[in-house]
Chain A
């Protein structure tokens, strides 16, 4: 088994409370399904949509957001899957696609020793 990180992009905010509740239900169902199949290494955390960006040799500090709303990373999950194909397949169940978000699937780099 290899490890992958899902980075959830796209802000799922500013919706009605009913819609948000419905989305939460869907997320929990999806997460539970992945957990039951043993694919979740760490469910991860949501991230605030604010922050600071420290950049360059001068270490200039600027306020976030650092990207357009649709590109902001809103959270992450650590996944275990056979290979990249399977990790991609599993990500397709994520409810984020309903709200025009995206999942970035990134393999965790391994050293073969």
Chain B
């Protein structure tokens, strides 16, 4: 809704758009208290926002300039109603969301600000929800968003998705923002839960919007969509009934979403159309190999290792190196895995990452060095970021102790 209103008012009037939405929302709640929910609350809100937008346009059109690209259409009483009606139509709303998505991924904004802005404007997350998703303070997020909005307001007009020259220039930033958004939901450090399905779902919804747009539906976008589907397919089994995190090796694979796997596979095929090979392609391929293995033992670890090798050449990072080491441990044994972990460059950047120590612990455990394993799991436990991770790691520590008493 903010996206559509931003289209109506112009991006420099983003605050006004948000006020109108807020106002429509408050009025709706006030009326629904007494009259109960209407059959279609979101349509009702849209209609209210549309009427408020018309009010604002009429009242303030002499004092402010609104969307310059709509020009005088908003100035005349003859055209203002049909134009606003059209902008609130279903297709126009989708276009607006794309426009805002591209506007949020402004090259002058740092990546985390882009993601925060997308979450705030397009997904309607409150400052405190975003703060908790990024383990940051409300004040810090508020600052980040208001600074980002200023940059956006300075750009005067919304990004034109219909044929802008820098469309393909900005698409990678949009991909990156959606990738980070999805990852935050999937591996996020949220204090209350390890998996934020709502973040994953929003990322998938926005990727779908990209796929519907002829210029945005590139092989890379398909790779990103494949990656999300194949990971999301595993969501139902990542957490058990009592809210415990389950490692990939122990998941009940029959609970993986076959439909999402199939869809992911289709996207993966479509992603192969271009010459470009991105990190999304490789990560999607890795996820696909996991998804088609009926059991952990049937996983093609050799292929996964070689995919990680390529990923290291495209986008090297200590996390990728760690995952590569874990795959090598599966393929060639725990001792080899440990060697690889020790060889990670910049491993100090993993010093706060609980699963770095958990991986060390796993490999030591498999090599039969229980004392070392327990020590690593304890280190991991001290870094756990939410109750789920804590329980998961407590179990590992306990497992080491059980092993010891058995010996």
Contact = CB atoms under 8 A, between A and B. Distances in A.
A13 interface: yes
A24 B33 contact: yes
Interface in A37-64: 43-46
A18 interface: yes
B35 interface: yes
Given A13-B26, A17-B22, A17-B25, A28 B36 contact: yes
Contact of A77 (B25, B30, B34, B126): B34
Nearest to A30: B33
B118 to A, nearest CB: 18
B126 A75 contact: no
A21 B32 CA distance: 10
A80 to B, nearest CB: 17
Contacts of B37: 28
Given A17-B22, A21-B29, A43 B126 contact: no
A46 B22 contact: no
Contacts, number: 40
B29 A20 contact: yes
Contact of B34 (A17, A20, A46): A46
A27 B25 contact: no
A43 B25 contact: no
A43 B34 contact: yes
A95 to B, nearest CB: 9
A25 B36 CA distance: 9
A20 B26 contact: yes
Nearest to B129: A18
Interface string A4-28: 0000000001001110110110011
B31 interface: yes
Helix, strand, loop or mixed for chain A's interface? Answer: helix
Interface in B30-48: 30-37
A45 B35 CA distance: 7
A59 to B, nearest CB: 28
A105 interface: no
A31 interface: yes
B32 A24 contact: yes
A37 to B, nearest CB: 16
B33 A31 contact: yes
A17 B36 contact: no
Contact of B31 (A17, A21, A46): A46
A45 B25 contact: no
Contacts of A75: 30, 33-34
A20 B27 CA distance: 11
Contacts of A44: 34
B36 A31 contact: yes
Most buried by A among B32, B34, B35: B34
Interface string B339-353: 000000000000000
Closest A-B pairs by Cβ, 7 of them? A27-B33, A24-B29, A46-B30, A43-B34, A20-B29, A24-B33, A44-B34
29 contacts: A13-B26, A17-B22, A17-B25, A18-B126, A20-B25, A20-B29, A21-B29, A23-B29, A23-B33, A24-B29, A24-B33, A27-B34, A28-B32, A28-B36, A28-B37, A31-B33, A31-B34, A32-B36, A43-B34, A43-B35, A44-B34, A45-B31, A45-B34, A46-B30, A46-B33, A75-B30, A75-B33, A75-B34, A77-B34
